[in-house]
Structure 1
Amino acid sequence: MSLTDTKILPRNLPQSFDAGRALKLARSTLQIEADAIIALKNRISDALDDPFAQAIALLLNCRGRVVVSGIGKSGHIARKIAATLASTGTPALFIHPAEAAHGDLGMVTEDDAFIAISNSGETAELMAIVPIIKRMGASLIAMTGNQDSALAQLANVHLDVKVDQEACPLNLAPTASTTATLAMGDALAVALLDARGFREEDFARSHPGGALGRRLLTHVRDVMRGGEAIPAVTADVSLSTALLEITRKGIAMTAVVDEKFHAIGVFTDGDLRRLIEQVQDFTKLKIADVMHANPHSIGPDQLAVDAVHMMEQFRINQLLVTDAAGTLVGALHIHDLTRAKVI
């Protein structure tokens, strides 16, 4: 089926639409932007006094926050860089340069580091506030495509993000230049998180609503069933009594405990199904006769994801929760983990 088939393309496309040209421009755009990033990579040397290394040192020594600013397309890139820094261990925020000139500059202190982004390096809104930031004593990092610009000259560190050409066929719309600037911001964030020893757990703490946060921050005690919801019987009760407990608690199993409420066994719905194939008369059976002794258990302070791993390892759907003394303090079903979105 061809690209011009009306089943694929909207029927209201102009007659002048050239699918082949569109595909050629798409490949050209991606190539130009890829070349811009490669050029950016080659611009960073191994020298300890390389501007990138100086920028990292400045940001690591910052006692305040990193303030990122830009306007227009550079403003959108600045917002993303600030968000990436903040989520990877470097406190950061975005301020709009025009709003900064009308009061928001009060958010910047002498302890902060200020990253000013402008492809030309001459953006009027930025140049209106940069001298004030310098007089304030805040450190200034400039990201521009013009090392001879006013902004580059005022900066403590200048990161050169110039590109040979924009991907726009008119060489006007910011495309390759914004891609290069965004990539430089990502490079800063990654270098900083590594230098700070930022770990997976730290990332989870700043992303508690995400899947990683739930896996690394949710503990067994947060999702287990406790108190009256724990299915438990003593070893001397009949199998019939144990089955009633399983039905009442709705977790498809019951723990078997001793007089000190230590978990000494477990009996599940699966065990019952297998027992039916072997035994006709249940009336004389005690739960102690058919339970699994030394049941698998997990501590309440362990991560819920550890419970998932145990269930997968032992091919079980339920798990007892016991404290350090072996006392039963909770029960966990795989559905509890699913509802908590740990799985």
Structure 2
Amino acid sequence: MKFTTLVSVTALAVASTTMVGAVQAREEIRRVGSSTVFPYTQAVAEQFANNTGFPSPIVESTGTGGGMQIFCGGIGEQFADITGASRRMKASEYQLCMDGGVTSITEARIGSDGLSVAISRDADFAWDLSLAEIYLALAAQVPVDGAWADNPYTTWNQINPDLPEIKIEVLGPPPTSGTRDAFVELAMWAGCEDLDFVKEAGHDGDWVEENCSRMRTDGPFIEAGENDNLIVQRLQANKDAMGIFGYSFLYENQDTLKAVTIGGVEPGAETIADGSYPISRPLFFYIKNAHRGVIPGFEEFLAEYMSEDALAPGGYLEERGLVPLSEAARTELRERVANAVPMDPIK
């Protein structure tokens, strides 16, 4: 399908001649954002450079939140063309873009991913955890003797006597990461809601969101930065530690790591796609339409990203762990990206 060049009148009004000239000064496409989406975009970038002869895009892993700050900052060569996200753009980030003059953005959902809790293949115990047990291990506050209090648990068997007497040590993403946002919403809130203390008190979703969102800071949960490869390396060095990251990183390191099943369900293409794996989420990237037709190769890069070779079942992104969209969803996505359809306002 031929990709059209579309720069909205609104974007042109916002982008001064000086700013557009600055965009033209940069030869490489620049992508920022989610560490989870990073390996997919990197794979597309390599394929694009090999196939077209354009310079290889600059692909940075800044975290979802950090990527939004850079992407929404404005129009010009100092601002990224694309940002990856392991959650949907927030209303506050959409407003940040509008305030920065980034008024035409196309949203592209590229597939799905599961948030994996992983451990070394050298671990002796066959780990299966409930979301409630994950919450009790990692939350800042939990029920203690009938009261809501600071988390006292230091070993897994204190949470459940059927679990081993091993120190709780879980490496995970920082607050700027979309993986952290998704983990809090999908695992921590859901695990908190499963607690008898919360159910018997009749606490609603607002109470859960206010009281069950904070990760503990006293040692058992370790913020490991935006580089998921560093978490993988630390798990390989410590057979009792666990790590939280996107399914693609587990998929790529199956020789040394294995999944902690959640409620008896292991993350995989089928369980993520059908939602039976409870910590599943959509993955996105966002396109700055004012940079289309200005940055060399941008349209061709988007065409490669939208190709069946990349996104379809059996494509090279599925080989890296992406769970593909349906054929109908891929067709709709491809048409929206080709025509630079602006996303609706987020309120």
Structure with max Cα Rg? 1
> Normalized against structure 2, the TM-score is what?
0.25
> Normalized against structure 1, the TM-score is what?
0.25
Higher helix share: 1
RCO greater where, 1 or 2, for CA within 8 Å and sep 6 or more? 2
